Amino acid sequence: MSTLTVFIRALPDSALNGRIDHHWWDDRTERRDRDAEALANRLQSVTFRAWPKEDTAPSIRVLNERTWSQATALELEFDTESPLSARLYLYLPNQKTHALRLHTLSHDEWPSFQRTWAGLPSAQSTSTTATAWLTPRDTGALRWNLEPRRRVHVRRSLALLGETIDSGKVYDILRAIKALESPGLELKDHSITLSGRGGSGFLSLIASLYADRVHVVDWADAPEPTDPGGHLLNWRRETGLSSILAAVASVRRVDIAAPSPVARSQWEALVQTLPDPTRAQVTVR
């Protein structure tokens, strides 16, 4: 688990030899971007600079298919950042809709999702919403089989290259959206809701900056705003959570579900600090 330590005014002597995954910043220098595209470009040049430069259409492989009277369930694997791949578990009701929910699973959600997926069609037979569950890199059936010491080594090596596992997961979300545009799936014209729980919700919020087809971001179990989850390099030095939220909410709706009254009140207070809170499309519940 990554440790994030925040020092508001100065870096104390006791932290001068912090680990590679420690970051510090002065929050007084936060830049506020009202333009989502400008913020996305700057984050891509700093936080996501290790993303592949060429973004070709992903190659999709059908691993399993189940069909019944109400819907079809597909298990797909697609390539992301070479040589890595990710998987999509797709529920397509026979009743045509124009909306698609793309939920990014965390590894902690994987066991319960497996039971839900195995229980189809009964577990979701009444749903009329097209839904895709994404297991990005190092998640679910594609979890990297690494002992703890080796996992730390991989994380540090990626950081030295300007990347983290979570920045790669943001890229996987964008690749999943491209994979869902495959002609055979007939989902290219669907409006997309990106959803995630905890840290995966934060990654979905970031990914929405790069996906025009996303109309809603649904963040469940959102942690307190001081630590929104996800481990991304240098993003706090370039911007802040309020700026990201303002940029996203200027072009799409953001629904935030806080797991506690304390977290909910903090999110409500954060929304009020946005440049134009009355026009921001943010709902906190």
| Residue 180 confidence (pLDDT) above 90 | yes
| Residue 182 confidence (pLDDT) above 50 | yes
| Residue 65 confidence (pLDDT) above 90 | yes
The residue-averaged pLDDT of 210-226 equals: 94
* Residue 33's pLDDT band (cuts 50, 70, 90): very low
2 secondary structure, DSSP code: -
pLDDT digit string (tens) for 226-281?
999 889 999 988 888 999 999 999 889 999 999 999 999 999 999 998 877 777 78
Axis-axis angle for helices 36-46, 241-249 (nearest 10): 130
Answer yes or no: are the C-beta atoms of 192 and 215 closer than 8 Å: yes
Q: Model-level pTM?
A: 0.86
pLDDT of residue 128: 78
- Residue 138 zone, left/alpha/beta (φ > 0; ψ -120 to 50; rest): left
* Residue 206's pLDDT band (cuts 50, 70, 90): very high
Q: Which of 63-72, 77-86, 118-127, 157-166 has the lowest mean pLDDT?
A: 118-127
For residue 212 the two structure tokens come to 């025009």
Q: How many Cα neighbours within 13 Å face the side chain of 152? A: 8
pLDDT digit string (tens) for 127-170?
778 999 999 999 999 999 989 899 999 999 999 888 999 999 99
| Residue 20 confidence (pLDDT) above 80 | no
| Residue 194 confidence (pLDDT) above 60 | yes
Most confident of 8-12, 16-20, 29-33, 274-278: 274-278
Residue the block writes with tokens 């950081």: 159
* Residue 28's pLDDT band (cuts 50, 70, 90): very low
Answer yes or no: are the C-beta atoms of 80 and 175 closer than 8 Å: yes
Beta bridge partners of 92: 72
Q: What is the 3-state secondary structure (H, E, C) of 23-73?
A: CCCCHHHCCCCCCHHHHHHHHHHHCCCCCCCCCCCCCEEEEEEEECCCEEE
